[in-house]
Chains A and B, each alone.
Chain A
Amino acid sequence: MGAAVRVRGLVKKFGNFTAVNGLTFDIEEGEIFGLLGPNGSGKSTTLLIIATVYKPTAGDVEVYGHSVTKRPDEVRKLVGIAFQDPKALWVDNPYELLVWHAMVVGYGLLDARRAVREIMEELEIWEHRGKLFSELSGGTRKKVEIAKLFLQKPKVSIFDEPTAQLDVTTKHRVWEMIRALKDEGRTVIVATNDMTEAERLSDRVGIIYKGSLRALGSPAELKDRIPAGDVLELRVDGALGEHVISALARALGTEKLNVSNGTLKAYVNRGEEKAAIAIETLSRLGVRVRSISIKEPTLDDVFFYFTGAQLGEGK
């Protein structure tokens, strides 16, 4: 499949502030693409440009070959967005807002009412249908916002922080619903600063930091790119001699090994392959392995590695 979205040299400035600085990447048709980055990194600005809400200062985005600058009307027919901050005015009620949204995206009135009821029941907000938006909790407002996209089902669905403010059960339900969009062949873009969400949902992840793309690939690929990112932890019978440690270091291709209290830790790439090599090497040297575990780096580690960001920087 080809690219659904092509971002080329995208720049967005607000006065002297550069929010997005030369982004270039593709989003493949039918994938869930995670845009990962801290608050203020330029994620939302990028999404708003793809959704034709903002105009780029330089560069362009193409959605199924339609440029956001040259053919924005065509782009809007293909793209839908659920915003980070739910968009409604205090006098709106969720039901009216969603029925109206459904009609704008092409439903007839009766179909709109039926579809809105279904999605509101699925997200467990039907009981709130007649309340003023100002009376709703943050989580319910968020559900109303994402319900718009599940009604619309555009070819490219953009979710900006879709599960922020949602409880754990609903979060998992929403993830399932997002995966269902992908299963229907739709392209999904999820912006998040929740590493677990990015890892659980995304086929590929783009890490964006201070307006620039710092890394792009599947979560597994990105983890593998961290030098010696996996930790092999081996518990063995008896003490390990120097010759065993040297042989193991050579076999695993790493110098980062340490031993304490009968536990050996080796810092390697591609932990699963190296675990087999470690067991084979130790068996050959007559060392009995009692247990072995592999700890992969998390996306947190990936993020810190590629951005060079420090803990506490976001404060």
Chain B
Amino acid sequence: MRGWAIAIISLRDLERFWKYKWWLAALVTMNLADLFVFALIFRGIVRKDILPDYFLFLAPGIASIAAFAAAFTIGREVMMELRRGFHHYLLSLPISRSELVVGRIAAGMVRGIIYQAPFMALLLALLGFPGIRGMALVSLATLMIVASMSSLSIAASTLVRNLELQATIRSLLYFIAFFLSNVFYPESIIRQRFPEAVYAIIENNPISIATTIYRHVFLPELAPSAEVQLLLAKLFLWTLLLTVGGAQLYARNLER
């Protein structure tokens, strides 16, 4: 695999990312509203013995959601390309299938990292620098969450030929990942209110895992018992499964 070929493939996806300025602005606004409207209001509603500060509790989760949402947009590109037959052009270029696939996944990853950067800066401003180890953990979690979500959305966008069904699958996956996570609710409440099976799903959702790692780093008092190595191992497994599986599905489904 040639690095420049992967970089050029990713470059096109990045250029396109900036073209949807208004859509991006709406996405940023939505995430900021989650934090500065929703979280600030709930700070006054949520019992302090459960969560001393809901605003600070939500902030790492929003950084996690931001990375996920931006990485997930690459699937939308792939879907549009299939609709317009643009994938034929990509398949005819003098690059290998693995360079094409890795380039697309990398593009989703870079989108996620770029989009998350201001939210990460906000976290640093609000909660302070967590040290070298802390930043290494956060970076590792970010890399894995953007790789897995980019691959998942790309694979979902090529699973079926019916475009309406394709959009439905992507939306469904997005909402499962978004709502069945611990971003908005603390673990103790989830365990209390949901059946054990649902709790297991929420606990093992890659977004929940990344969020817990962020919380452990930035707000150790909120996730004191987090077994970081186990969380990293789980996230790594998700990443391995979704990137390898996603890449293979993408390559296989593009070709007829």
**A residues whose Cβ falls under 8 Å from a Cβ of B:** 14, 48, 51-55, 72-73, 76-77, 79-81, 83, 85, 87-89, 91, 96, 100, 103-106, 154
Contacts of B86 in A (CB 8 A): 87-89
Contact B94 A105 (CB under 8 A): yes
Contacts of A77 in B (CB 8 A): 94
Contacts of B88 in A (CB 8 A): 48, 53, 83, 87
Is B45 engaged at the interface, CB distance under 8 Å to the other chain?
no
Chain A: minimal CB distance from B104 (Å): 14
A89, B8: Cα distance in complex, Å: 17
Chain A: minimal CB distance from B13 (Å): 11
Contacts of A87 in B (CB 8 A): 84-86, 88-89
Contact B92 A81 (CB under 8 A): yes
A14, B12: Cα distance in complex, Å: 31
Given contacts A14-B256, A89-B80, A89-B81, contact A52 B16 (CB under 8 A): no
Is B15 engaged at the interface, CB distance under 8 Å to the other chain?
yes
Instruction: Give the interface size bracket for B toward A.
Output: 20 to 34
New A-B contacts (8) at CB < 8 Å, excluding given A54-B255, A100-B12:
A76-B92, A80-B92, A83-B85, A89-B16, A89-B80, A100-B15, A106-B94, A154-B94
Chain B: minimal CB distance from A208 (Å): 19
**B residues whose Cβ falls under 8 Å from a Cβ of A:** 5, 8-9, 11-12, 15-16, 19-20, 80-81, 84-86, 88-89, 91-97, 255-256
Contact A76 B11 (CB under 8 A): no
Contact A53 B92 (CB under 8 A): yes
Contact A54 B94 (CB under 8 A): no
Contacts of B81 in A (CB 8 A): 89
Contact B89 A83 (CB under 8 A): yes
Contacts of B11 in A (CB 8 A): 100
In the A-B complex, the 4 residue pairs with the smallest Cβ-Cβ separation, listed nearest first, are A87-B89, A73-B96, A53-B91, A51-B92
Contacts of A51 in B (CB 8 A): 91-92
Contacts of B96 in A (CB 8 A): 73, 76
A83, B91: Cα distance in complex, Å: 12
Contacts of A53 in B (CB 8 A): 88, 91-92, 255
Contact B256 A96 (CB under 8 A): no
| Residue of B15, B88, B89, B255 with most chain A CB atoms under a 10 A cut-off | B89
Contact A100 B8 (CB under 8 A): yes
Contact A76 B95 (CB under 8 A): yes
A105, B16: Cα distance in complex, Å: 20
A91, B23: Cα distance in complex, Å: 13
Contact B19 A91 (CB under 8 A): yes
A183, B19: Cα distance in complex, Å: 41
Q: Which residue of A lies closest to B12 (CB)?
A: A100
A85, B86: Cα distance in complex, Å: 10
Contact B255 A55 (CB under 8 A): yes
Contacts of A55 in B (CB 8 A): 255-256
| Residue of A53, A73, A79, A83 with most chain B CB atoms under a 10 A cut-off | A53
Contacts of A79 in B (CB 8 A): 92
Contact B92 A52 (CB under 8 A): yes
Contacts of B84 in A (CB 8 A): 87-89
Chain A: minimal CB distance from B74 (Å): 14
| Residue of A55, A96, A104 with most chain B CB atoms under a 10 A cut-off | A104
8 pairs, A vs B, C-beta closer than 8 Å: A52-B91, A73-B97, A83-B89, A87-B88, A89-B16, A96-B15, A106-B94, A154-B94
Contacts of B255 in A (CB 8 A): 53-55
A188, B109: Cα distance in complex, Å: 39
Given contacts A55-B256, A87-B86, A88-B86, contact A76 B19 (CB under 8 A): no
Contacts of A154 in B (CB 8 A): 94
A105, B20: Cα distance in complex, Å: 27
Contact B94 A103 (CB under 8 A): no
A100, B107: Cα distance in complex, Å: 15
Q: Which residue of A lies closest to B9 (CB)?
A: A104
Contacts of B9 in A (CB 8 A): 104
Q: Which residue of B lies closest to A87 (CB)?
A: B89
Contact A104 B8 (CB under 8 A): yes
